[in-house]
Amino acid sequence: MDFLTLAKSRCTTRGFMDKKIAGEDLERILEAGRVAPSACNRQPQRIIVVQDPENLRRVQKAYQTFGSPCVLLVCQDKSDPLVRPFDGKCSGDLDIGIVCDHMMLAARELGIGSVMVGLFDPAIIRAEFGVPETVEPTALLLLGYPAQAFLSPERHQAERNPLGDTVMYERYRESGGLEMSLTNDKKRVPHLDDEALKRGALEAKMISARSIVTAPWVRLKCTYGCDGYGTSHCCPPKTPTPKETQEILDCYTSALLVHFDGKTSPTRVIVELERSAFLAGYYKAFGFGAGPCLLCRTCNTEECVHREKARPAMEACGIDVYATARNNGFPIDVLSGESCEENYYGLLLLE
């Protein structure tokens, strides 16, 4: 399986079968930890492999093992730590986390479950297993074959925050919890996602406005890659620049990202959704469509005659549609042939 599929397939296992891990599989897991990145190649990990039933009972004094047949006591040598001079931060904890992550992923590839534990009593581990004072018990890694099936990799859709809640571009911004009032205020808010589907969208999702990406390079694709450049009020250079668009986005906390195939006009649907949101009290609602404006055969470049229906495309305003879609779990790829799946997106800003 590819890496992202493997990462999504790994899950916490609390409950193991009474079945030993084969020696070659254990060696493979340990090898994955050995080759893990380490700050300045210090490699502070010191790993005690515990498989003997009596020693497993000793581990249980510090933390329950859920029937694991193999527990790795992952310690770090602190006799010569690598310390960040600015604030005294030791890199050892980061190194141990990376080592454990490598080993958990290697275990999952072999059909072996795992759980990494930090909430245990290190003094007990130190005393029971003769760990010297210069070595710190940092994590326990419980391994074994799951007593129940691995959790579905699709669980991340519901259990994990969207990228927009945890990833920022170019500068830090407070997430503010992102409660998304549009989904919570049932009295005032129309079900915009349902309305989008009824009007021909494939999918619609509330997102954080902070997950919307702008970039100066996007306008280059319009300037040098599109025959419609300068022929419409919805195309550059008449549309907001990426910088101006970012300033507009900073006025919002939420947005509705709407996914379309090539059968429905994203701009038409977005305009209709914008009106629904406005009538529901969201007076700042504003939409972005996709592609060139098709309302007039020849645009009146002096004055737009369809201001109530005309909306600029996301890309025309410097929005990186690819990054924005991917940030929020939507599919989008470069069309390399006629058989490739077409994905179009519209955006409705809401506050």
Question: 348: which DSSP letter?
Answer: E
| Cβ pair 122, 62 in contact under 8 A | yes
The CA-atom distances, in angstroms, between 264 and each of 204, 257, 299, 314 are 14, 15, 22, 16
SS3 9: helix
The pTM score is: 0.55
Residue 285: CA count within 13 A, CB half-sphere: 21
Residues paired with 324 in a beta bridge: none
Match 């910088």 to its residue by tokens: 243
Q: What is the 3-state secondary structure (H, E, C) of 223-258?
A: HHHCCCCCCCCCCCCCCCCHHHHHHHHCCCCEEEEE
Q: What is the signed CA dihedral for 94, 95, 98, 100, rounded to 10 degrees?
A: -110
Give one word for 56, left, alpha or beta, with left for phi > 0 and alpha for psi -120 to 50: alpha
Distances in Å between the Cα of 224 and the Cα atoms of 22, 59, 128 are 59, 65, 69
- Please compute, for residue 338, the number of CA atoms within 13 A of its CA located in the half-sphere on the CB side: 0
Hunting for tokens 């947005």 — which residue is that? 255
pLDDT tens, position by position, 164-216: 778 877 777 665 433 344 444 433 345 788 888 888 888 888 888 888 989 88
| Fold exhibited by the domain 3-153 | NADH Oxidase (3.40.109)
Which are the contacts of 137, defined by CB distance < 8 A and separation ≥ 6? 73, 74, 75, 120, 122, 125, 126, 131
| Residues 324, 330: Cα–Cα separation, whole Å | 9
pLDDT of amino acid 169: 76
Please name the amino acid found at residue 89.
K
Stretches in the chain below the pLDDT threshold 50: 176-189
The structural domains of the chain, with segments of one domain joined by +, span 3-153, 161-350
For the stretch 117-124, contacts whose Cβ atoms lie closer than 8 Å and that sit 24 or more positions apart, written own/partner, are: 117/63, 117/141, 117/142, 119/63, 120/62, 120/63, 121/61, 121/62, 121/63, 122/62, 124/61, 124/62
In the sheet that 113-117 helps form, which strands lie side by side, from edge to edge? 45-50, 70-77, 135-144, 113-117
Reduced to 3 DSSP states, what percent helix, strand and coil does the chain have, rounded to the nearest 5? 35, 15, 50
CB atoms closer than 10 angstroms to residue 132: 11
Distance CA 308, CA 275 (A): 10
Give the C-alpha separation, 59 to 140, whole Å: 9
Q: Encode pLDDT of 147-161 as tens digits.
A: 999 999 888 877 787
Q: Angle at which helices 23-34 and 92-109 pack, to 10 degrees?
A: 140
The confidence score (pLDDT) of residue 186 equals: 37
Residue 27 has a pLDDT of 98
- The angle subtended at Cα 61 by Cα 15 and Cα 138, nearest 5°, is 80
Distance CA 339, CA 216 (A): 31
